[in-house]
Amino acid sequence: MKFRGDSMIAAGIDMGVQNIKIVILQDKEVIARSIIPSGFEPRRAAEKAFEEALKEAKLSLKEIQHVTATGTGVEMAPYTDSTISMIAADARAGVFLYPSARTIIDVGAEESRVVVCDEKGTVLEFAINERCAAGSGAFLEAMARALEVRLEEMGVLSLEAKGTVSINATCVIFGETDVVSLIHKREPKHEIARAIYDALADRITSIAHRVGIRPDVILVGGLAKDLGFTAALKRKLETEIFVPENPEYAGALGAALHALNKAGGR
Amino acid sequence: MRFIITYYGYMDGSGEYYIVVDSEKCNGCGECVTHCPKQVLEIIQTMVDLEEQLVAAVKEEHRKNIKYSCSACRPEKATTPCVSACKRKAITCIWKPKAP
Amino acid sequence: MSEENQQYWRWREYHLVIPERKPKGSNIITAGVDVGSVSSKAAIMIDGQIYSVSIMRTGSSSSDSARRVMEWTLEGTGLKLSDIHYIVGTGYGRVNVPMAHNTLTEIACHAKGANYIWGPTVRTILDVGGQDIKAIKCDEKGKVLAFLMNDKCAAGTGRGMEVLADLLKISIEEMGEMSLRVDEEPDPVSCTCVAFARTEAMGLLRRGWSKEKVLAAYMRAMATRMCNLLERVGCERDLVVTGGQSRNIGIIRRIEKMLGMNTLPPPKWEENGLDPMAAGAIGAALFAKALYEKTKS
């Protein structure tokens, strides 16, 4: 039996553009997670998400010994004791989930990252695709809208396809026109869906090649749950990809691990 | 004398990326094409201002993806194979990613 | 796209004939047809002088658009298609102008057209089309010296502006002017991505920014992008702007300020047909004359 007093309790907040994610760790065990849309008031949303996570963990705020924040909106994070970059968070989480992880690919709503690290989770190299929607989840969202298919159904739909169609557009805005013209040409929706995933996976793969892929490759972030995307990425990368459970929490987990270290006074 | 300098590539939120071909210096020899590990380049016959010439060019499908197509050669760090291969300095590389 | 949305981004289509130029006898009649991704233009010239010009929206088929704009340009001229001695086609990608005797690159036609419209002092042309931005350097004869095209990213293109106009629920024609109605120029938006503008612009409006201020921030960012492209090829005076954005005064004023040089104003094209938007078609018609004379010699 372990008494409350012996444990170290830390929390990580990932202030994502679309969603705020919280992870609470008790020693090396995840005891709570929560996710809430950032909306127009990310700070408030983060507070709410924190509340929910605390409820799940049956803890109060003061029992958290250290809180580390990360993510695009990190300056707006509440209760923060320290911050780390998304890159560092990805590496930490990757190695924690898979000790053999050396390349972590994180595809978020508005940004994509590829991080190469060592066995301790120290970042060796990284590449970020930012400020361009075409290399992120935003591309998928916009294309799904143009295709008039619900985002959640895109993945499974694309798996039926053989890859007869391709989309050359390198911009979300131009891509929308491409999709519309493919529909007018009566190309089947599942083929268009696959083309969309292939285009995105292609860009992510190129970013990955920039830093040099080292096995094992881990995929995290919201898009990691999308079967259509993982299939396309495996095709383009031509290597095995591991996807952990709850991949969208990787950033928050990495931050929480960092917080745990800090709580231990190390 | 006729010449045209063509910038193949683009600028987007993340930076500027161009392969530049000077058609005055380029004689269409194809050395750059041979040395490119990704088949990004080709020799084309182009008519600009009513005259025809063989010049090196970036293939159509790579022009909008140049950041990705050429990334393996690390243009921001070193001289790329295509640039090294050209004895007439007809092809150059401009690579300016914005700091993250 | 709904009917309502379509109104926001239509440039006014028009057709203009200059009656004094009506051909008689042994004139050389040539035409140029420029089928762009967003608009199609045609110009008919008599001995290298503008007689008729039209601009209309490109449809789903480029060959169809070429036919329709040519037809419209012939209206009211007293001419038939067969009266034209030589037609040059140009435009976006592998354009198909079925009635053309020859096809030339849009870059060459644009430079030639700009040289015709503004004269031999033009050295730098910024062409902002529907789906691309081009920076062209030329000599005093309108011959192309350097060329850069950006069609990877919608920021700054006509299409990008359309999305922005649609987002803010204003017409594309008033965007430019509205963006100048600010007391103080705001900082440019940090991210030019038009797809992200959907959330970023909304965020700014929510923060209490007026539409004018949001527009100013975006126009400034777009103008910076365009200046960077111009500086890449080397910006020399005289500088002119062609394409859809040539009508956007918010962009023009800002580019002039950033580069420290004035752009040559467009001539009174409503009267003389020298519309910068039709520069490609005009240049094509001029090349048509040169090519026709070559065949006759």
Cβ pair C57, C37 in contact under 8 A: no
C2 — pLDDT class (breaks 50, 70, 90):
very low
C191 — pLDDT class (breaks 50, 70, 90):
confident
* Distance (Å, whole) CA A144 – CA C91: 31
Nearest CA distance, A40 vs chain B (angstrom): 23
Q: What number is the average pLDDT over the span B71-79?
A: 85
Q: Which is nearest to A136 in space by CA: A87, A38, A203?
A: A203
B50 — pLDDT class (breaks 50, 70, 90):
low
pLDDT at C106: 85
* Distance (Å, whole) CA A57 – CA A27: 13
The reply to whether residue C160 touches residue A173, judged by beta carbons under 8 angstroms, is yes
Q: What number is the average pLDDT over the span C251-265?
A: 94
Q: What number is the average pLDDT over the span C185-199?
A: 84
Residue position matching structure tokens 């290399």 = A135
Cβ pair C180, C211 in contact under 8 A: no
pLDDT at C5: 35
- Number of inter-chain CB pairs under 8 A, A vs C: 40
Name residue B16's beta-bridge partners. Answer: B11, B96
Structure tokens at A254: 């990495």
pLDDT at C105 over 60: yes
Q: What number is the average pLDDT over the span B13-26?
A: 89
- C153 contacts in chain A (CB < 8 Å): 132, 170-171
C107-116 residue pLDDT tens: 889 999 999 9
* Distance (Å, whole) CA C76 – CA A208: 60
pLDDT at C94: 60
Q: What interface predicted TM-score (ipTM) does this complex get?
A: 0.83
pLDDT at C1: 36
Of C144, C152, C232, Cβ closest to residue B64: C152
- C193 contacts in chain B (CB < 8 Å): 12-13
Cβ pair A101, A239 in contact under 8 A: no
Interface-testing mutation among B8, B23, B50, B64, with chain C (most C C-beta atoms within 10 A): B50
Q: What number is the average pLDDT over the span C239-259?
A: 89
Which of B78-82, C11-15, C282-286 reaches the highest mean pLDDT?
C282-286
C56 — pLDDT class (breaks 50, 70, 90):
very high
Of C108, C148, C149, Cβ closest to residue B48: C108
pLDDT at C92: 76
Of B13, B64, B100, Cβ closest to residue A170: B64
C8 — pLDDT class (breaks 50, 70, 90):
very low
* Percentage of chain C modeled with pLDDT above 90: 55
Domains identified in chain B and CATH numbers = 5-93 (3.30.70.20)
pLDDT at C138 over 90: yes
Spans of chain A below 50 pLDDT:
1-2, 266
